[in-house]
Amino acid sequence: MAGNIRLEVVTPQKEVVKEEAQIVVAPGVLGEFGVLIGHTPFMTALNVGTIRYTDAQGQENSLFVSGGFAEALPDKVTVLAESAERSQDIDVDRAKAAMERAQKRLEDKAADIDYLRAEMALKRALHRIQLAESRHF
């Protein structure tokens, strides 16, 4: 079936993407999934990772998401993300600083360290860095 699907990615702070796409691929908690026009409706939680999509003109795009939820309908994909950034908007220096902070917290043996929170911060930073650096190739 030919045609485009509407993609909307929003965070509590802003609308990140609102455009037509040929295909949307996202990091679901049960694995990566893809959506084309006419897809069977479903909802899923998202992992930290990358949403990739091909826009109506055939240009490949990507953005970082740090979890949230996705709803796929036959003509639309809506992503409600905790945070999201287009790959070109990622501040690599800021992400590297966040990675270093998280690594220091994980190395610290203090009892009051929230290790799960530090691990998630490290995971988010690593994904941001990887996505930002991959756009330069």
Q: pLDDT, tens digit, for every residue of 6-45?
A: 999 999 999 999 999 999 999 999 999 999 999 999 999 9
Say what the pLDDT of residue 65 is.
94
Q: Domains in the chain: how many in total? A: 2
Cβ–Cβ < 8 Å for 49, 27:
yes
**One domain, residues 32 and 54:** yes
pTM: 0.76
3, two tokens: 């045609």
- Domain containing 25 equals 5-87
CATH number of the structural domain spanning residue 98: 1.20.5.440
Cβ density class 84-106: b for 16+ within 10 Å, e for less: bbbbeebeeeebeebbeebeebe
In angstroms, rounded to a whole number, what is the distance separating the alpha carbons of residues 125 and 96?
Answer: 7
- Low-confidence stretches of the chain (pLDDT < 50) are 136-137
39, two tokens: 């897809």
Give how far Cα 123 sits from Cα of 73, 101, 118, Å: 29, 12, 9
Say what the pLDDT of residue 136 is.
43
93: enclosing H helix or E strand: helix 92-107
**One domain, residues 15 and 31:** yes
**One domain, residues 57 and 116:** no
- Classified as helix, coil or strand, 83 is coil
**One domain, residues 77 and 112:** no
**One domain, residues 51 and 118:** no
